[in-house]
Amino acid sequence: MTNIADEEFGRLGLTASHAFLLKEAVENPGIQPKDLSEELHLTPSTITRLIEKLELKRLVERKMEGKHTLVYATEKGVALLPDIKRAWRSMFRRYADIIGEDTAKQLTRMAYDAVLTLGRDPEKNY
């Protein structure tokens, strides 16, 4: 699945993690890195590196409001959202073609449930 994800998102010049972070920034303007860390189940330092890379591509920008850093998608980042969603669907379709539709849905559901379960215990997040 990782190879398929790399191919699909690589066409956009992104990794799956970059694409998911950008999607969150588009759908939640002004999201804080702490919230991104919790949502993506990645360490704060990893989130910072992902944001920096997306800033270099001019897909997101950080703004300070008081003590808080807020992350916003740029117009260029917002425009990429339909392509990101197509890449997610294509990735699913490709691995469903290999392992079967039912197995792919079950795998997706199990992975999602595992993320939710791990997210309940901060000790297990990273």
DSSP class per residue in 62-108: EEEETTEEEEEE-HHHHHHHHHHHHHHHHHHHHHHHHH-HHHHHHHH
pLDDT in tens, 27-39: 999 999 999 998 8
The structure's pTM equals: 0.83
Structure token pair of residue 87: 């890449």
Give the total number of structural domains in the chain: 1
Render pLDDT for 1-29 as a digit per residue (tens, 0 to 9): 788 988 999 999 999 999 999 999 999 99
Structure tokens at 69: 């850093």
Q: In this structure, what CATH number is given to the domain that contains residue 37? A: 1.10.10.10
Which residue is it, tokens 């759908």?
27
- For 68-115, write each residue's pLDDT tens digit: 999 999 999 999 999 999 999 999 999 899 999 999 889 888 887 876
Expressed as residue numbers, the domain containing 117 is 2-124
